[in-house]
Amino acid sequence: MEPSFDTVKDTVIEKIPPAPGEETGTGGPAQAERDFLANALELAPFIKNLLGEEVGVYVSDLERYIYCAPGSVSLSLRPGDYIKEGSVTDLALRNGQRAVIRVEKEVYGIPYIGTACPINAPDSGKIIGALGMTAPITRQEQLMAAADNMENQISTMSMAINNLSATAEELAATMENLNSGAQNIRDEIKKTDDIVNLIQEVAEQTHMLGLNAAIEAARAGEAGRGFNVVAGEIRKMSQDTQRSVKEIMQTLQEMQRSIMELTHSIEQMSAATQQQAASAQEISAAVNELGAVAADLKRQADELLS
């Protein structure tokens, strides 16, 4: 049967020896230490209630635990159990200052933070015991995992957005080059128009020369028969040239219409790609801000676990 709280308290208080030359109950330093540790024991249940069911509260003297109220992490400790070497209570007693350790899930099934601080006598400052607590960090670890996952996802998203932004900028530059190329083609076609017009003029003049030659051949009669043949060939060549020029003009006009339509489409695509590049940059900036938020969240989660 586990001893009652009062029995444990009385046993512990009696263990504090009187100072040399001091009799028990005389009100000397040892009595003050006993009273102070007794007060700590009496406060322990209230501390437990204040911190809630998940938090474990433990009080010890210099050797054993004298109050054990486990939380969601069960350390299987009972009043009277010796303090284990290397435990957070042992560290606080040996170093004379607050000690904190983190215990992973594999040990007790639940990850937790153990904290202990020495109990010092109010007058002498002598260490007479320790107050320890255990607090599960399952939620904090879940928060840490979520923050870490969020940071990784945002990092991946940021890389994708940066690639998209770079691609959009390259596409916008390509469309601009295409637009410039289409304009150059239109300019070259206009130059071709001038050449074709010149050919048309030459063909018309050649045709007139052929007519004049035919008239002169007719005047010459029999002597101009051979010249008449040449005049006919000249007129035929002129007519063929005019037909070819007409076909070329029609082809060039079709090309001009196609180039105009292509240029219009390229201009629209260029405007769209430039808008896309600008939007990608805005998204990239927003993702970078989210990345900063995720990093800060991860830092805060890490601070909760430390």
Supply the pTM of this predicted model.
0.49
What pLDDT is attached to residue 3?
46
- Closest CA relative to residue 245, chosen from 198, 206, 207: 198
> Is the domain of 201 the same as that of 93?
no
Q: What is the CATH number of the domain that holds 234?
A: 1.10.287.950
The length of the chain is 306
| Residue 155 predicted with pLDDT over 50 | yes
Which residues constitute the domain of residue 114?
5-136
> Is the domain of 193 the same as that of 271?
yes
* Percentage of the chain modeled with pLDDT above 90: 21
What pLDDT is attached to residue 28?
63
* Percentage of the chain modeled with pLDDT above 70: 85
- What is the C-alpha to C-alpha distance for residues 63 and 57, in angstroms, rounded to an integer? 17
Question: Is 12 within 8 Å of 40 (Cβ atoms)?
Answer: no
Q: How many domains does the chain have?
A: 2
Tokens 């995720």 correspond to 294
> Is the domain of 58 the same as that of 183?
no
> Is the domain of 19 the same as that of 69?
yes
What pLDDT is attached to residue 27?
56
Q: What is the CATH number of the domain that holds 12?
A: 3.30.450.20
> Is the domain of 127 the same as that of 37?
yes
* Residue where one domain finishes, among candidates 95, 114, 136: 136
pLDDT digits (tens, 9 = 90+) for 203-241: 777 777 777 777 777 777 766 667 677 777 777 777 777
Q: Which of 55-64, 76-85, 148-157 has the lowest mean pLDDT?
A: 148-157
pLDDT digits (tens, 9 = 90+) for 120-147: 988 888 999 999 999 887 777 777 777 7
Partners of 57 in the β-ladder:
69, 133
Q: Quick one: tokens of 66?
A: 């004298």
What pLDDT is attached to residue 257?
81
> Is the domain of 201 the same as that of 254?
yes
- What is the C-alpha to C-alpha distance for residues 118 and 92, in angstroms, rounded to an integer? 6
| Mean pLDDT over each residue of the chain, to the nearest integer | 78
What pLDDT is attached to residue 115?
92
Partners of 121 in the β-ladder:
none
Question: Is 73 within 8 Å of 38 (Cβ atoms)?
Answer: no
> Is the domain of 271 the same as that of 194?
yes
> Is the domain of 272 the same as that of 184?
yes
How open is the CA angle 87-90-94, to the nearest 5 degrees?
Answer: 145
* Residue where one domain finishes, among candidates 88, 109, 136: 136
CA distances, 229 to each of 214, 235, 271 (Å): 8, 10, 62
3-class DSSP state of 252? helix
> Is the domain of 175 the same as that of 232?
yes
CA atoms within a 13 Å half-sphere pointing along the CA-CB vector of 200: 12
| Residue 6 predicted with pLDDT over 60 | no
> Is the domain of 159 the same as that of 45?
no
* 88 Ramachandran zone, left/alpha/beta (phi>0; psi -120 to 50): alpha
What pLDDT is attached to residue 130?
95
* Residue where one domain finishes, among candidates 115, 136, 157: 136
